Amino acid sequence: MFVSSPSSVTESNDESSGEDGADASDARTSELADTSSGEGESESYRVASYDPASRLLSVVNENGVPAQLSVAKGDNVQILGPALQEGRNLYLRHCMHCHGVSGDGAGPTAQYFKVKPRDYRQGVVKFTSTKANVPRPSRDDLFRIVKLGVPGTYMPSFMLLPDEEVHAIVEYVRWLAMRGEMERKLNAWLSLDYSKEAVADMEEPAEEIESAFAEAWADEASDNITQFSEELQMDWQEADKEENVVVPPTERVPPSPESIERGRKLFQGNKAKCASCHGLTGKGNGPSTESFNDLPGQPGVKSDKAGLFDIWGNIVKPRNLTAGVFRGGRRPIDIYRRIHSGIKGTPMQAFGSTLNKEGEIWDVVNYVLSIPFENKQGGH
Amino acid sequence: MNKFWPIFFMFWPILAIVSFVIAPGMDWWFPGPAMSPLGEQIDNLFYLILVIVAVTFVGTHVALGYVLWRGVDNKDQKAWFSHGSHNLEILWSIAPAGILMFISLYQLDVWMEFRVKTHFPEGTTPVAEVTARQFEWRIRYPAPGKKLMTTPQSDDLYTVNDLHVPFGRPVSIRLRSMDVQHAFFLPELRVKQDAVPGAVIPVWFEASKPGEYDLTCAELCGWGHYKMRGRVFAENESGFEQYLETLQAEQNFDGVTQPEHTGAQIAEYGIEDSQ
């Protein structure tokens, strides 16, 4: 209910994108299709209310002002709700077993996995094409992961699911992520004044605390919820913008022995310090895997286990690059993006600004792609 | 009412004959006609065994029906009690043994051609390595124009669940498993072979027509067994080469020089849809 973006109405003239909706959506959209509309552009509104009995849908614009949908015959009105419903059904069939009903990565089979299924609720996934300062994945990224799977983990490929079904799943996963984030934001806000400890410290009687809380909620909840959902909407929309996709400034440097050698020096040297985690030979056994680090989200609190943590609280091993298994994809651009923007949610940082000389990242990419074959080539 | 049992027992052989006759036309036995030359031979073996079984089944039932029919009105004559007859015991031990021996010898050629590497058809080309894994088929091709090597090469091409092969000539795959036992099953091509962890098993097949064929896992391999759905896409030589080249272009994509989605692996998810 709180999340605005997926329950918005998108109006566009794109024929293909409107096929997702189930029969119910056709019935709803036909009512809207009677009014007239402008041409060529796409607008989106938020659903303010929907009355199933009269099948009347009212919408508001970005500022919350009631709006009139002007739609002409032949226009395509897409209500993302039905797509979400289909996505939910598909998610429950194919994904829930590992990723959990709420997307918390704790489905029934998750307990058997050494590599844990992604918990979406922080809105962070590892393998994205987006820039380092864009915290969310694009739809494209999620689509690719579902279609191709993640080799080296338990995530299988859903290559043969029809594209529309994968799109629906992607929408639902985004929705779960937004829901989780929204809950976390609300939680963080309420914990400012009403955390368990704070309430325990209060001296007023329970009724007074309750009524004060109700008052605070009535005063601030609406504004906060709007603000949170706007933040969410902005973050997720940023991720889908073309300018936020990492595109290398130059084409790949040919993987010549010289380039590989330059890459190796960067990998092992002090500039990029790849070796401090991935090890001198890329086996993923660098010194920092043996060090004691802060627990995720608790700066200053050391873990009693050695190793690197991701934000989900798992100890992550730096990738063993000699195995030739690349979770986020093996295309040069995939490795480039991993190095350029890092792997979100993990200690793998973004090196886009460190390796700033022309072709440096490509040299490292060439070296990384050559590691599995090093001995066979009789090289370094 | 006296004739109920003879009629009852005669009904079944008649039903059997009817269904044997109409079944092949209705695709009751197989998922469509065999799409490979070896598959046709396998189907022929199936029909041979079916005929043997049908003749036996119908024969014994006709005999049973005849005996019952005669016995209905026969109040005087005492039945012939054959229990313990040495000759009969020998007869119905040797006859089935002979039939089984015939079947086992008769099918040897097909078996050898299918399973024994030295008897694979001449010119069988290894096209890919297929590694089964919970719950997908990971595929490794050699670069276009190169031979499939037993170990990964730096220019190998990778994809998943979507095996492309040329049709009209025998090709083989190296079948492996990364975790548990799976089975590489192409129902239309009549190919079924277990993938065993630790073993590399060559499997050959020849698609006689271009088209899309199901690839499924035929060994219950875990809760997601149903997810192991792949496809084999049989196309002509130039189509196959072109596929490998597209895959290569896609795999070498550096974000700059080529269009990102060339269509070999996944369809385009347009950025304009994302807004």
- Please enumerate in sequence order all residues whose Cβ is within 8 A of that of A332, keeping only pairs 6 or more positions apart, or say none: A252, A362, A365, A369, B252, B253, B254, B255
Cα torsion A112, A116, A119, A122: sign: positive
Nearest one of A260, A285, A267 to A354, comparing CA atoms = A267
Looking at residue A38, its pLDDT comes to 43
Residue A302 structure tokens:
């050391």
Whether residue A166 contacts residue A147, with contact meaning beta carbons closer than 8 Å, is answered with yes
Cβ distance B254 to A144 less than 8 Å, yes or no, reads no
Whether residue A263 contacts residue A355, with contact meaning beta carbons closer than 8 Å, is answered with no
Q: How far is B162 from chain A (nearest CA, A)?
A: 8
Selected for mutation to probe chain A from B149, B155, B160 (highest A CB count within 10 Å) is B160
In degrees and rounded to multiples of 5, residue B92 shows phi and psi of: -85, 5
Nearest to B253 among A159, A333, A376 (CB): A333
Nearest to B256 among A138, A163, A251 (CB): A251
Q: Please tell me if residue B231 touches chain A, with a CB cutoff of 8 Å.
A: yes
- Coil, strand, or helix at residue A128? coil
Cβ distance A248 to B251 less than 8 Å, yes or no, reads no
Whether residue A148 contacts residue B139, with contact meaning beta carbons closer than 8 Å, is answered with no
Lookup result for tokens 């923007």: A341
| Cross-strand pairs, A356 | none
Q: 164-183 in A: which are within 8 Å (CB) of B?
A: 167
Q: Please tell me if residue A96 touches chain B, with a CB cutoff of 8 Å.
A: no
For residue A314, what are the CA distances in angstroms to A75, A283, A311, A325?
48, 20, 7, 20
Looking at residue B26, its pLDDT comes to 86
Residue B3 structure tokens:
């004739």
Nearest to A247 among B134, B230, B255 (CB): B255
Nearest one of A298, A190, A183 to A199, comparing CA atoms = A190
- Coil, strand, or helix at residue B96? helix
Convert the pLDDT of each residue in A271-319 to its tens digit: 988 999 999 999 999 998 888 888 887 788 888 888 898 999 888 999 9
Nearest CA in chain A to B178: A152
Could you tell me how many residues make up chain B? 275
pLDDT above 70 covers a percentage of chain B that reads 93
Cβ distance A139 to B229 less than 8 Å, yes or no, reads no
Cβ distance B227 to A156 less than 8 Å, yes or no, reads yes
Looking at residue B72, its pLDDT comes to 83
Convert the pLDDT of each residue in B83-101 to its tens digit: 888 999 999 899 999 999 9
Q: Please tell me if residue A6 touches chain B, with a CB cutoff of 8 Å.
A: no
Nearest CA in chain A to B270: A140
Q: How far is B39 from chain A (nearest CA, A)?
A: 25
Cα torsion B242, B246, B252, B253: sign: positive
Find the helix packing angle between A139-148 and A163-194, rounded to 10°. 120
Task: Work out how many CB contacts closer than 8 A connect A with B.
Answer: 101
- Please enumerate in sequence order all residues whose Cβ is within 8 A of that of A7, keeping only pairs 6 or more positions apart, or say none: A46, A47, A80, A81
Nearest CA in chain B to A243: B271
For residue A272, what are the CA distances in angstroms to A248, A352, A353, B232?
18, 10, 10, 44
Nearest to A163 among B161, B251, B267 (CB): B267
A113: amino acid identity, one letter = F
Nearest to A248 among B153, B256, B267 (CB): B256
B175: amino acid identity, one letter = L
Looking at residue A41, its pLDDT comes to 61
Q: Which residues of A touch B250 (CB under 8 A)?
A: 331
In degrees and rounded to multiples of 5, residue A127 shows phi and psi of: -100, 100
Q: Please tell me if residue A30 touches chain B, with a CB cutoff of 8 Å.
A: no
Q: Which residues of A22-58 are buried (b: 16+ CB within 10 A; e: fewer)?
A: eeebeebbeebbeeebeeeeebbbbbeeeeeeeeebe
Alpha carbons B12 and A254: distance in angstroms, whole number = 74
Alpha carbons B154 and B151: distance in angstroms, whole number = 10
Nearest CA in chain B to A44: B275
Q: Please tell me if residue A257 touches chain B, with a CB cutoff of 8 Å.
A: no
Cβ distance B161 to A143 less than 8 Å, yes or no, reads no
Cβ distance A14 to B273 less than 8 Å, yes or no, reads yes
- Coil, strand, or helix at residue A352? coil
Alpha carbons A102 and A177: distance in angstroms, whole number = 9
Return the beta strands (E) in chain B as ranges: 125-133, 136-141, 157-160, 162-166, 171-177, 182-186, 191-195, 201-205, 211-217, 230-235
Stretch B139-150: mean pLDDT: 94
Could you tell me how many residues make up chain A? 380
Convert the pLDDT of each residue in B186-240 to its tens digit: 999 999 999 999 999 999 999 999 999 999 999 999 988 999 999 999 999 999 9
| Cross-strand pairs, A51 | A56
Cβ distance B231 to A160 less than 8 Å, yes or no, reads yes
- Coil, strand, or helix at residue A11? strand
Selected for mutation to probe chain B from A9, A41, A113, A140 (highest B CB count within 10 Å) is A140
Nearest one of A307, A315, A313, A344 to A328, comparing CA atoms = A344
A257-373 has CATH 1.10.760.10 classification: yes
Alpha carbons B2 and B234: distance in angstroms, whole number = 60
Convert the pLDDT of each residue in A332-357 to its tens digit: 999 999 999 999 999 999 999 888 88
Nearest CA in chain B to A245: B255
| Cross-strand pairs, B211 | B234
Nearest to A332 among B161, B162, B253 (CB): B253
Higher-pLDDT residue of B258 and A206 is A206
Q: Which residues of B touch A248 (CB under 8 A)?
A: 254-256
Chain centroid to Cα A259, Å, comes to: 33
Q: How far is B271 from chain A (nearest CA, A)?
A: 7
DSSP assignment string, B166-219: ESSS-EEEEEEESSS-EEEEEGGGTEEEEE-TT--EEEEE--SS-EEEEEEE-S
Cβ distance B255 to A336 less than 8 Å, yes or no, reads yes
- Please enumerate in sequence order all residues whose Cβ is within 8 A of that of B39, keeping only pairs 6 or more positions apart, or say none: B188, B189, B190, B191
Alpha carbons B96 and B53: distance in angstroms, whole number = 11
Whether residue B212 contacts residue B121, with contact meaning beta carbons closer than 8 Å, is answered with no
Cβ distance A159 to B266 less than 8 Å, yes or no, reads yes
Q: Is the pLDDT of residue B272 over 50?
A: no
Q: Please tell me if residue B188 touches chain A, with a CB cutoff of 8 Å.
A: no
Q: Is the pLDDT of residue B130 over 80?
A: yes
Q: 71-90 in A: which are within 8 Å (CB) of B?
A: none
For chain A, list residues with pLDDT below 50. Answer: 1-39, 377-380
